[in-house]
Structure 1
Amino acid sequence: MLRRMSRTRALVAAAALAALPLATAAPATSAPVVNKVVVIGIDGTLWSEVQAANAPNLGLLAAQGTLARTSIAPHTTMSCVSWATALTGVWDTKHGIKDNDSTCTPAPFAQYPTVFTQLERAKPSLSTASLGTWDKIGMIARTGSPAADKVSVTQVDPTGAGVCETTADSNATAQVVSAITDSGTDFTFTHLDQVDIVGHTLRGIWPQAYRDAIGRVDTLVGKITKAVDDRARAHADERWTILVTTDHGHKPEGGHGGQSAYETASFMIARGPDFAAGAQNNGFTLADVTPTVLDLLGAPADPNSDGRSVRLGGSGDPAAAVPNTPAIESGLTGSSSGSAQMLMVNNPLCLVASGSSGGSFGK
């Protein structure tokens, strides 16, 4: 009898255990969510001309994210000056770079390390890449210890010969797509150059040639965006943010370096899980790029920074007025010779002027 009762109790206990809800089981562990960031720098690009060009991919990014239209005045409107600011978080009054030549050297980055160095010091496991088209960008990314994990300059082919701007931009974009798709690189910066080069070399046939260049770059932006979105769908544990910005604008007749509203005009697009779709916040500045990347990737903010993460509103005035840079009117407004214009028009895929050094003139 006792044996029969013990067996009955055992059966009842087993049945009770089987009836317990599955929720009591140990929860399954899931991979932690990680942030990934791509920054697309489009040299010498006016947002008013992006609108005039009806660039679909840049327009879509702005619609899906938050757009800022700002002025970088009184900052120097030259490329090395501005990209140094974007890649360190400090303005030219601190880093001291004033041109693309004599002051554009590794020296300032010892005191004001790049975003690549700051990330590598704080989180060495992160993968970082600079995949640009200009040797000065490569210099900046290689500066500091540690430097970026991968640095590529596509304006020069492996034989040392120069490469056309459109080809350089396409090659850089292909590398960015690979870094996203194949490697899931944590932070990628790219620099696309042909819009700025057109602004310098095609003076006199504005604005259509400039808008055509924006259209070509817009197609490349679309390829990068597609790579990000495809990767995000395939990897649920990854949160991707795309930032797009420019270093300066251009005068209606082409060229920059001064302080007109056209030359100091800048913009930023921030598209990702932290940014409201279709919003505008003019508090996002060029100096906010590095603090934003550090914030998104979990690295500490640099106390020397002039910028502030755009997740926290940026460092500028969100209510600032949009610079007065209406779309450029059609017509001959520059002074290039007819033969030079025809050379560029008949050979639109090669925008490096004869005798230039790697396409870096006039930046």
Structure 2
Amino acid sequence: MVRTMSERANQRFDRRGVAERTRIGFFSKALAALTVTASIAAGSAHADAPTDKVVLIGLDGLMYDKVLQVHAPNLLRLSADGLLSRSSIAPHITISGPSWATVLTGVWDRKHGIENNDFTAAPFAKYPTVFTRLERADPGLKTHSIATWDQLATMSGSGDPRADVVLSTPPVPDDPDEAETDAATATSVVGAITKFAPDFLFTHLDQVDHAGHRDGGASDAYLDAVRRVDEQVGRITAAVDARAKAHPAERWTILVTADHGHRPRGGHGGQTPDETTNFVIARGPGFTPGERTSRYTLVDITPTVLDLLHAPADPVFDGRSMVDREPAEPSTVR
């Protein structure tokens, strides 16, 4: 068939149009494929992004000198693998209520106003606990409190919002030294870490303080309690390490502190060196193994937890984050 010049021109135009549409289609598909690939990569990167998690272990009435005396292996290992600060909390009140309130709020007793173990949730409206601050900063965070001493539920269960999980271990029958009750608390902590991996978990073990009251800080019973509580610290640490190994994207920090010491013959609440002695251990990615200082005390715990979990600090704090370790004087009572 003979085509006119006009027909041949139209045919060339149609072929160019098809070719152009083919090129456009190819580039559109390529762009779509790149977009999908980028989205998958971004999603994968997000899924693999490090997630910081913190476990705070509170050991009631524990003096670090006694940790050294009995060569408590788990606490000594945590100290060797991270930062250890040994200092004094004088003139802060050396009673559990005021001290744990300071641990969980970042302000000294003169601010939160708790003077003994008979307290309500009222002070935590003005000075929110670390649980409330974390939940306000990121409601998606999982926060747990698991304690032997039931009064700590008043603190962790206060505020709006409060901790997601608040548990007090019921006293185990026929447990005169609280060893079995503390073991039950540690079992709950191990289960929570293994199954739920909370972003922040606070736990409290009480048997050392119990021994101090009953037999004195210089007694063999006190040393036995230190050995036993060290075993529970080891169980909790092992659970953290196993979880971290199984989930490499999770970055776990363990903090350890105490609320006060004990007089040689027992008791606390005064201002002797045995009563005001305090220590803080911080083991995790942000801390240098073997670092020793006297700059930090229990008042620095809440600012540190907030820093590690990317929540804002508050100018009201008397403490400061241990993550920012610039030379400074210890956090003293204002």
| TM-score under structure 1 length normalisation | 0.76
Secondary structure at the residue paired with 1:219?
Answer: helix
Cα displacement string for residues 178-203 of structure 1 (whole angstroms, at most 9, x for unaligned residues): 11111111100000000000000124
State the 1:285 CA deviation. 1.4
Q: Which residue of 1 aligns with 2:297?
A: 285
Q: Which residue of 1 aligns with 2:145?
A: 130
Q: Which residue of 1 aligns with 2:195?
A: 182
CA contact (8 A) 1:241 1:272 kept: yes
Aligned residue runs from structure 1 range 39-118, under 5 A:
39-101=56-118, 104-118=119-133
Higher alpha-carbon deviation: 308-317 or 191-200: 308-317
Q: Take 2:73 and 2:257, find their aligned partners in 1: how far apart are those partners?
A: 16
Determine if the alignment matches structure 1 residue 33 to structure 2 residue 45: no
Secondary structure at the residue paired with 1:189?
Answer: strand
Q: Which residue of 1 aligns with 2:32?
A: none
Cα displacement string for residues 100-140 of structure 1 (whole angstroms, at most 9, x for unaligned residues): 12xx2111101000000000111000000000011210111
Q: Take 1:316 and 1:90, find their aligned partners in 2: how far apart are those partners?
A: 18
CA contact (8 A) 1:288 1:309 kept: yes
CA contact (8 A) 2:215 2:265 kept: no
Cα displacement string for residues 53-95 of structure 1 (whole angstroms, at most 9, x for unaligned residues): 1100000000000100010000000001000000000000100
CA contact (8 A) 2:320 2:331 kept: no
1:302 to 289, 314, 318: 314
Q: Which residue of 2 aligns with 1:194?
A: 207
Which residue type is aligned with residue 239 of structure 2? A
Q: Which runs of 5+ in 1 are unaligned?
A: 1-24, 321-363
CA contact (8 A) 1:134 1:155 kept: no
Aligned residue runs from structure 1 range 166-315, under 5 A:
166-203=179-216, 206-313=218-325
Which residue type is aligned with residue 294 of structure 2? N
Instruction: Provide closer, same or farther for how the CA distance between residues 48 and 316 of structure 1 changes in structure 2, counting only shifts above 3 A.
Output: farther
Which entry has the higher C-alpha Rg, 1 or 2? 2
Secondary structure at the residue paired with 1:312?
Answer: coil
Q: Which residue of 2 aligns with 1:342?
A: none
Secondary structure at the residue paired with 2:203?
Answer: strand
Q: Take 1:80 and 1:155, find their aligned partners in 2: how far apart are those partners?
A: 19
Q: Which residue of 1 aligns with 2:12?
A: none
Give the superposed CA RMSD.
2.0
Q: Which residue of 2 aligns with 1:317?
A: 329
Secondary structure at the residue paired with 2:311?
Answer: coil
Q: Which residue of 1 aligns with 2:134?
A: 119
Higher alpha-carbon deviation: 69-78 or 30-39: 30-39
CA contact (8 A) 1:155 1:163 kept: no
State the 1:168 CA deviation. 1.7
Secondary structure at the residue paired with 2:264?
Answer: coil
Q: Take 1:106 and 1:315, find their aligned partners in 2: how far apart are those partners?
A: 35
Equivalent pairs counted in the alignment come to 290
Identical pairs, percent = 54
Determine if the alignment matches structure 1 residue 140 to structure 2 residue 152: no
Q: Take 1:141 and 1:316, find their aligned partners in 2: how far apart are those partners?
A: 30
State the 1:239 CA deviation. 0.4
Which residue type is aligned with residue 182 of structure 2? D
State the 1:207 CA deviation. 2.4
Which residue type is aligned with residue 97 of structure 1? I
State the 1:163 CA deviation. 6.3
CA contact (8 A) 1:281 1:319 kept: no
Q: Which runs of 5+ in 2 are unaligned?
A: 1-36
